[in-house]
Amino acid sequence: MTGIDSGMDLGSGSVRLLNALRGVIDPEHGYDIVDMGLIYRLGINAAKAKVLMTLPTRDYPSRDYILLGVEKCIQRLSGIDRLEIQLVWDPPWSPEKMTSKAHVEFPDDHLWSHDE
């Protein structure tokens, strides 16, 4: 099961957010954060965008890079004046959240650590 791609009904505003976030590449793995399964929920209310997301681990080396990338990609969208990023750890990220496009790079026996 992947992150946001797993059947969530996205309105047109959220699709714009999702498409923009495909421009944020996780430098540790070379895939965008959508294909990595890091995006859990998106929304727009008036001119405020909200992104509910996670990272592979709590102490992920590219945390600041990814969060800055999210800010920059969303700020480029017309009609968005404010952004709220909520970083969550439940449910924890796992390779199963990746899209099939990204998952082919990581065999099932690939070891991932989860900080609790």
**Cβ-Cβ contacts under 8 Å for 50 (sequence gap 6 or more):** 41, 42, 43, 44, 83, 84, 86
Domain chopping of the chain, boundaries: 12-103
pTM of the predicted model, to two decimals? 0.80
pLDDT in tens, 29-65: 889 999 999 999 998 888 899 999 999 999 999 999 9
Tell me the three-class secondary structure of 9-78, residue by residue: CCCHHHHHHHHHHCCCEECCCCEECCCCCCEEEEEEECCEEEEEECCCCCCCCCHHHHHHHHHHHHHCCC
Fold of 12-103: GMP Synthetase; Chain A, domain 3 (3.30.300)
CB 69 within 8 A of CB 24: yes
- Length of the chain equals 116
Q: Supply the pLDDT for residue 11.
A: 55
Within a 13 Å sphere around the CA of 35, how many CA atoms are in the beta-carbon half? 16
